[in-house]
Structure 1
Amino acid sequence: MDIKLTSDDRIGGSKSGASKSGASKRGGKKRPASKSGRGKAEPKKSFFSGGTNTKKRNSKRKKKPVTLFGIIVKLTYWLLVLGIWAGIGVAAIVAYYALQLPASDSWAVPDRPANIRIVATNGQLISNQGKMGGEAVLFRELPEYVPAAILAIEDRRFFDHIGIDPLGILRAALGNIQAGRVTAGGSTITQQVAKNLFLSPDQTLGRKVQEALLALWLEQNYSKIQIMELYLNRVYFGAGAFGIEAASQRYFAKSARNLSLGEAAILAGLLKAPSRLSPDKNPEGAAQRARVVLKAMAEVGYISTQEAEAAAIDPNQRIRTRVAGAEYYVADWVESLMTSYIGDVTQDVIVTTTIDWDLQKFAEFTVREAVSINGEERNFSQGALVSMTTDGAVKAIVGGVDYSDSQFNRAVSARRQSGSAFKPLVYLTALEAGFTPDTIVEDAPLDYEGWQPKNYNGEYAGDVTLRDALTFSLNTVAARLAIAVSPQAVINTAYRLGISSQIEPVPSISLGTAGISLLELTGAYVPFSNGGVGVIPYVITSIQTTEGEILYQNIPAGPGQVIAPQNVEMMNDMLSNAIDVGTGKRAHLANWQIAGKTGTTQSNRDALFIGYSANLTTGVWVGNDDNSSMKGVGGGTFPAEIWSAYMTRAHEGLVPANLPNGNSMPQLLDGFSPDGLPPQNVPQQNGTPGQQERPRTLVDLINELFGN
């Protein structure tokens, strides 16, 4: 059935009386009337259309779909914008810190501090002194694997980058991220050189920027080989060693030119942590780090895997490193003398010394053994030795038992009491005043203005000769002699023989109470061995540049004749007797005539023996740095034994010779008369010793001087 419905009859259709206006309000279009007078029917609408709004929405422009290409384009755009602004920011930062640097035309690599190469008479290296601790070496002088070890572990792309290495920085960053901690840095060798040469070690942004700029400048002005030489000769390897040569000498007692592959790996491994990986303090850590270096060398292709395995050091096997021996006492002494010889050292120099290397090492061994074997039981912990020829050339010097424990030189710098070892100077002064070895003196209690010296054993011998008094080291006799000739006269004798320490003019100096170095006292004995010629102990024979220019050459010099020949003969007679039957009888030297004197200070705080042959004069001291007492140790015990062992070695292969006598003397010093009497400014005594009706006693002399 066909139902005829109009638009007003439909749901949502126009209500009567309002169709036109409703259509107008909803945006409908007014249709023109048909010719028949009836309106044209409206098109059908969907129930859900909401009226004519559907047409309005469809009239809007459709959006473009989002694509991957569009995302990439936009991302690229914004990254480009961000990059430009970041570049501007980085440029501003670089410019800011660059302006804080001096003008680039004023940049220059500072000179390397001068090195002092000290050698023994045979050319054996004693030590390299100076701020760097070693001399500079050329790249071409080193085995190829030495710089290769450093490049493999520090900067593999050294010969490829321009001073800074972005790839290296990225690789280091990734490695640090993977490890979860900082395991590597991104600085190139060139950057490290720039930092070491020009900048402070501060880890700041400004320093890193300046470091990069300076690295670029270095690459523009120096070749890769030159930059590598700067690095090798200045980088710090620990233990005061700057540069590969200093490190090689410090740890292995050899030149870097002679390093093995394994040793080169150890030194390259040190650069990461010089103190923590030191081979003499942490041999296991050093060995493990060396294996890392060798593996890196194999990875780069510098060596084969087999070579790396062969060179690797077993971490359980101790690495043999150089022990700081007594020769370092020599080196320190030599360095302290350089300014007085040539002024400020501004270039590398070679100093040739008087040191006999073999005797030096034997002297060190002898002193160390004596202390090691007997020190704990007898309560002494230190020892020192000085040995010199008849012209004052020092052949060996030991400043202490262990240089690594204490660098204080007890042979040169210590001013300690010498005890009875000072008495020969008192007796010499008496001989110059007219006494002889046969002059009778009294050994008895003495009270001089409240001073009451006593003999070591508390006993007194009565009337004795000067010879016997010196032989058995009688204190009261030495005191009486000093009073008789005056303390100032004794001091004058000491200064004439080369002692320079300040000595107070008091009678007690006769018993060795003044502080005097072992070097001084040993030098004062030398004129007894050479016929009376004074010496100035010396250790340097020449100083020259590495190019061979002579800066200093030792010329034999000294005060000349300081003891009359006859007095030399009488002193040798008395001091030989002191060894034959006296306090120094433990000292011996087969087939050689020797002489000397023991010395023991109050409460056994110091024990000395100074003795000599016609070839060498040697002084030995043992004691404690804290001045504590020893147990039964005197100059005639361990010091005499050390002296004997050393002198026996020093005289091996030499033709024995006697000490000088009055018939075989050098030319007399001006002012000394042929009969051996001293100059007129030395007090004279009435009468001629040896021609009196009875022996002249010290009491007679005191009566003459003081009128009682």
Structure 2
Amino acid sequence: MSGSKKGGSRLVADKRPKKSKPAPAARTKRKRRTSRSRRRGPIAWLFGGLFRFVWGIGWRVTALVALAVGGAVLYYAATLPPVTALLDGRSKGSVTLLDRDGEVFAWRGEQFGGQITAETVSPDLKNAIIATEDRRFYRHFGISPRGIASAVRINLSEGRGPLSGHGGSTITQQTAKLLCLGTVYDPASGLTEAEFEADCRRTTIARKIKEAVYAMAMELRYSKDDILTIYLNRAYLGAGSRGFEAAAQRYFGRSANEVLPSEAAMLAGLLVAPTRYAPTANLERSQNRANLILGLMEEQGYLTTAEATRARQNPARLSEAAEARAGGYFADWVMDQGPTYLTDETTEDVIIRTTFDQRIQNAAEEALQWVFDNKVREGSKAQAAIVVMSADGAVRGMVGGRKFRGVAGQFNRAIQAKRQTGSAFKPFVYGAALDLGYSPNDTVIDEPYCLDIPGSGRWCPSNYTNDYKGRVTMTDALAQSLNIPAVKVFETVGREAVVNIANDFGIESDIAGGPAVALGASESTLLEMTGAFAGILNGGSSVDPYGLVTLSLKGDTSPLLEQEGGIGERVITPKAAQELVWMMHQVIERGTGTRAKLPGGHPAAGKTGTTQAARDAWFIGFTADYVAGVWMGYDDNTPLSGVTGGGLPAEIWRETMARVHEGTPPRPLPMIAPAQQAPQVARDQTAPRRQTQPDNAVERVILNVLNELFGN
């Protein structure tokens, strides 16, 4: 055995390196972590697992939503039409009405003034819109999260729902809403256009999401100026104005490319509430709103302090046509004169030139207002109507009631109210007698008088004054509006003759055949009666009252419809008409119509009319230039208190015609004064006495023919 215990080397295993022990501090920290994890292990595991689950689902859902939104944005962007196809979104056209001088005085339907662009529109208007509606318009991608969050906060703080009130919508979102998210109105849907637009403005969460997607698609498809151009042309701005060009023309009589800073601010202020802030509704309120917009423009650097101050000191004013707002009743009547498919239901933009005279209209309105302010007791509900026309039937002004501002579509008493005419009908009775050859100097006896009416019994008319004048000329009978002589003449010339003459002069309403017709028992409209009196003025020819002169499509030079005048066929001879004018002249000179006598030496002729129990009071008359008719009464047929045709209606007529003729020289009436003759003795107590009275109906017909041929 080799080696001994002493000298030999001892066999031992290799020593493994010893593990180093952790430092005391590290060991303590580890123990704490281990201890804490042991204490919170289940909670940490639960929340950690929940977090991992939510995160795992969340990012996948977010990715899917992003893909869906992106796909929807791309889809909408691909389907959007060219900008030019979106500028005029109206389903119907409009009607612009011009007066006799070619000036605009009224609009019907939604006006579209023409296409404008963000590049050509007034910079002040462009800046006012951006400052008011979306100051970050050129920096966002269609929606503004900051604006939405701010709007929600304001709505909640004011006690409304998060989507009620302030919307936080960008101009792009508002444009998407104006486009109804690409849905086109379909009349076959059963919804009216107003209902369709109201549905487009709903603010549900789902619709707001769709609106945001559509807005982003627009941002992808169009430039910012393209979007603003659509907005400028489609926004509704009150008073039937669709787009800023129509509104600028409607309110200020100028293009949107030319508006001043004060006007631009007023137009931009309409966006929040077009009807409320329309300057035609309340100019002061609209100006106050414009001042707020000017402040925003100054604050955002679009206007200097000096420019903003100057704009506030010179606020926007309405154009003359917009301020007048005249002719509402007339405009409605003219719209009814044209075919419906070119007026109320037109799909084109139509221009109608009319006979309307704004100066005469203002005269009638001012006269009516003055009389009611100064002659009628305060709080009276009595109504009145006025029609002014030329001798050929061209209507120059029309007032259909005491309210004549913003009256579109309201009840027009001048053309819609059929009322008994009273003694205003008597000129047709005497016109029939004159046409048969009677003279204004022929006499008739005013005395107690009765007739037996088949089916009605005995009828005994009486005069308004309940007395009798004895023998009077036909001129005196008409001037004093005596009833019994009128009935006697009516019976003598024949009921049919009188009714035919009234009808031929334009009284289209049914006229009863009884003798009470002579006293105006039948009904008619003021327009009909005024037109009939125009026939007396023009020499005895009928007229068809008209207001439409030409109707054409906007941009066309040739009219689709044209009216050359309203004179029709002859009704009575020129001599009879001129004698009747003289008789009616005496009504104003010395009869029941003296309160209608005009200042300045203007000769006039006319006739008063008061119905039973004074339910209606009339005065219709004319000068050499114009015919005017006035009616007064209550809509519910309540009797007037102390009013006759020779009273307030005559005063309204005088005030109207005095204003109409102001500054014009007097012109003689077309009348013939009869030769003065010694009083003739009537052959009986009924018929008026004349020298050449035909003995029978055949002779009367022959005389009429001769008069027609030779102008006797």
> How many Å apart are 1:633 and its aligned residue?
2.0
Q: Which residue of 2 aligns with 1:476?
A: 484
- Determine if the alignment matches structure 1 residue 568 to structure 2 residue 577: yes
- Determine if the alignment matches structure 1 residue 491 to structure 2 residue 499: yes
Q: Which residue of 2 aligns with 1:34?
A: none
Structure 1 Cα separation of the partners of residues 288 and 596 of structure 2: 51
What CA deviation, in whole Å up to 9, does each residue of 1:165-198 have, x standing for no partner? Answer: 4554455456667888666323222332332333
> How many Å apart are 1:645 and its aligned residue?
3.1
Q: Structure 1 residues 652 and 284 mapped into 2: Cα distance closer, same or farther (>3 Å)?
A: closer
Q: Which residue of 1 aligns with 2:518?
A: 510
2:444 and 2:687 in contact (8 A); partners too: no
Identity of aligned residues (%): 38
What CA deviation, in whole Å up to 9, does each residue of 1:351-395 have, x standing for no partner? Answer: 222122222212211111111111216956432221111221112
Question: Which protein has the bigger helix share?
Answer: 2
Which residue, 669, 673, 677 being the options, matches 1:659? 669
Structure 1 length normalisation: TM-score? 0.74
Mean Cα deviation higher: 161-170 or 277-286: 277-286
Q: Which residue of 2 aligns with 1:154?
A: 133
Structure 1 Cα separation of the partners of residues 547 and 77 of structure 2: 47
Q: Which residue identity does 1:529 align to in structure 2?
A: L
Which residue, 589, 597, 620 being the options, matches 1:588? 597
2:581 and 2:605 in contact (8 A); partners too: yes
Structure 1 Cα separation of the partners of residues 60 and 576 of structure 2: 96
Q: Structure 1 residues 291 and 174 mapped into 2: Cα distance closer, same or farther (>3 Å)?
A: farther
1:532 and 1:565 in contact (8 A); partners too: yes
> How many Å apart are 1:698 and its aligned residue?
6.1
2:580 and 2:671 in contact (8 A); partners too: no
Structure 1 Cα separation of the partners of residues 99 and 502 of structure 2: 31
Q: Which residue of 1 aligns with 2:167?
A: 185
Which residue, 92, 100, 111 being the options, matches 1:113? 92
> How many Å apart are 1:473 and its aligned residue?
0.5
Q: Which residue of 2 aligns with 1:436?
A: 439
Aligned residues: 614
Which residue, 572, 579, 601 being the options, matches 2:611? 601
Q: Which residue of 1 aligns with 2:15?
A: none
Structure 1 counterpart SS, 2:640: coil
Q: Structure 1 residues 659 and 223 mapped into 2: Cα distance closer, same or farther (>3 Å)?
A: farther
Specify which structure has the bigger relative contact order, considering alpha-carbon pairs within 8 angstroms and separated by 6 or more residues: 2
1:133-152 → structure 2 map (5 Å cutoff)? 135-136=113-114, 138-139=116-117, 142-152=121-131
> How many Å apart are 1:458 and its aligned residue?
1.0
1:565 and 1:662 in contact (8 A); partners too: no
Mean Cα deviation higher: 189-198 or 279-288: 279-288
Structure 2 Cα separation of the partners of residues 91 and 394 of structure 1: 67
Structure 1 counterpart SS, 2:338: helix
Q: Which residue of 2 aligns with 1:399?
A: 400
> How many Å apart are 1:284 and its aligned residue?
7.7
Q: Structure 1 residues 534 and 193 mapped into 2: Cα distance closer, same or farther (>3 Å)?
A: same
Q: Structure 1 residues 309 and 104 mapped into 2: Cα distance closer, same or farther (>3 Å)?
A: closer
1:567-646 → structure 2 map (5 Å cutoff)? 567-589=576-598, 590-646=600-656
> How many Å apart are 1:217 and its aligned residue?
5.4
- Determine if the alignment matches structure 1 residue 420 to structure 2 residue 423: yes
What CA deviation, in whole Å up to 9, does each residue of 1:591-627 have, x standing for no partner? Answer: 4432111112222222221111222111122333333
Structure 1 counterpart SS, 2:594: coil
> How many Å apart are 1:346 and its aligned residue?
2.3
> How many Å apart are 1:540 and its aligned residue?
2.0
Structure 1 Cα separation of the partners of residues 122 and 73 of structure 2: 40
Q: Which residue of 1 aligns with 2:236?
A: 236
What CA deviation, in whole Å up to 9, does each residue of 1:659-678 have, x standing for no partner? Answer: 33579xxxxxxxxxxxxxxx
> How many Å apart are 1:492 and its aligned residue?
1.7
Structure 2 Cα separation of the partners of residues 94 and 400 of structure 1: 60
Q: Structure 1 residues 627 and 147 mapped into 2: Cα distance closer, same or farther (>3 Å)?
A: farther
Structure 2 counterpart SS, 1:699: coil
Q: Which residue of 2 aligns with 1:25?
A: none
Q: Which residue identity does 1:532 align to in structure 2?
A: G
> How many Å apart are 1:494 and its aligned residue?
1.7
Q: Which residue identity does 1:346 align to in structure 2?
A: T
> How many Å apart are 1:101 and its aligned residue?
14
Q: Which residue of 2 aligns with 1:85?
A: 61
Q: Which residue identity does 1:553 align to in structure 2?
A: E
Structure 1 counterpart SS, 2:353: strand
Q: Which residue identity does 1:539 align to in structure 2?
A: G
Q: Structure 1 residues 464 and 308 mapped into 2: Cα distance closer, same or farther (>3 Å)?
A: same
Structure 1 Cα separation of the partners of residues 680 and 445 of structure 2: 18
What CA deviation, in whole Å up to 9, does each residue of 1:652-707 have, x standing for no partner? Answer: 454543333579xxxxxxxxxxxxxxxxxxxxxxxxxx9998445562589x999x
1:344-359 → structure 2 map (5 Å cutoff)? 344-359=345-360
2:443 and 2:679 in contact (8 A); partners too: no
1:359-378 → structure 2 map (5 Å cutoff)? 359-376=360-377
Structure 1 Cα separation of the partners of residues 480 and 383 of structure 2: 26
Structure 1 counterpart SS, 2:595: coil
Q: Which residue of 2 aligns with 1:534?
A: 542
Q: Structure 1 residues 693 and 616 mapped into 2: Cα distance closer, same or farther (>3 Å)?
A: closer
Mean Cα deviation higher: 189-198 or 566-575: 189-198
Q: Structure 1 residues 705 and 222 mapped into 2: Cα distance closer, same or farther (>3 Å)?
A: farther
1:454-465 → structure 2 map (5 Å cutoff)? 454-465=462-473
1:326 and 1:402 in contact (8 A); partners too: no
Q: Which residue identity does 1:146 align to in structure 2?
A: L
Q: Which residue identity does 2:667 align to in structure 1?
A: A
> Which protein is bigger by CA-based radius of gyration?
1
Structure 2 length normalisation: TM-score? 0.74
Q: Which residue identity does 2:59 align to in structure 1?
A: G
Mean Cα deviation higher: 89-98 or 327-336: 89-98
2:443 and 2:688 in contact (8 A); partners too: no
> How many Å apart are 1:82 and its aligned residue?
0.9
Which residue, 549, 554, 557 being the options, matches 1:549? 557
Q: Structure 1 residues 503 and 151 mapped into 2: Cα distance closer, same or farther (>3 Å)?
A: farther
Q: Structure 1 residues 547 and 319 mapped into 2: Cα distance closer, same or farther (>3 Å)?
A: closer
- Determine if the alignment matches structure 1 residue 197 to structure 2 residue 179: yes
Structure 1 counterpart SS, 2:532: helix
> How many Å apart are 1:123 and its aligned residue?
3.2
1:575 and 1:595 in contact (8 A); partners too: yes
Mean Cα deviation higher: 149-158 or 220-229: 220-229
Q: Structure 1 residues 176 and 383 mapped into 2: Cα distance closer, same or farther (>3 Å)?
A: closer
Structure 2 Cα separation of the partners of residues 326 and 570 of structure 1: 37
Q: Which residue of 1 aligns with 2:333?
A: 333
1:371 and 1:381 in contact (8 A); partners too: no
What CA deviation, in whole Å up to 9, does each residue of 1:293-338 have, x standing for no partner? Answer: 2233234332224433443489xx9998966744222222222333
State the Cα RMSD in Å: 4.5
> How many Å apart are 1:209 and its aligned residue?
3.8
Structure 2 Cα separation of the partners of residues 505 and 229 of structure 1: 66
2:340 and 2:346 in contact (8 A); partners too: no
Structure 2 Cα separation of the partners of residues 433 and 440 of structure 1: 15
Q: Structure 1 residues 443 and 303 mapped into 2: Cα distance closer, same or farther (>3 Å)?
A: same
Q: Structure 1 residues 138 and 512 mapped into 2: Cα distance closer, same or farther (>3 Å)?
A: farther
What CA deviation, in whole Å up to 9, does each residue of 1:99-124 have, x standing for no partner? Answer: 99998789964445322111222333
2:442 and 2:680 in contact (8 A); partners too: no
Q: Structure 1 residues 174 and 206 mapped into 2: Cα distance closer, same or farther (>3 Å)?
A: closer
Q: Structure 1 residues 634 and 176 mapped into 2: Cα distance closer, same or farther (>3 Å)?
A: closer
Q: Which residue identity does 2:175 align to in structure 1?
A: V
2:342 and 2:350 in contact (8 A); partners too: no
Q: Which residue identity does 1:587 align to in structure 2?
A: A
2:142 and 2:215 in contact (8 A); partners too: yes
Structure 1 Cα separation of the partners of residues 484 and 92 of structure 2: 57
Structure 2 Cα separation of the partners of residues 616 and 278 of structure 1: 36
Q: Structure 1 residues 293 and 598 mapped into 2: Cα distance closer, same or farther (>3 Å)?
A: same
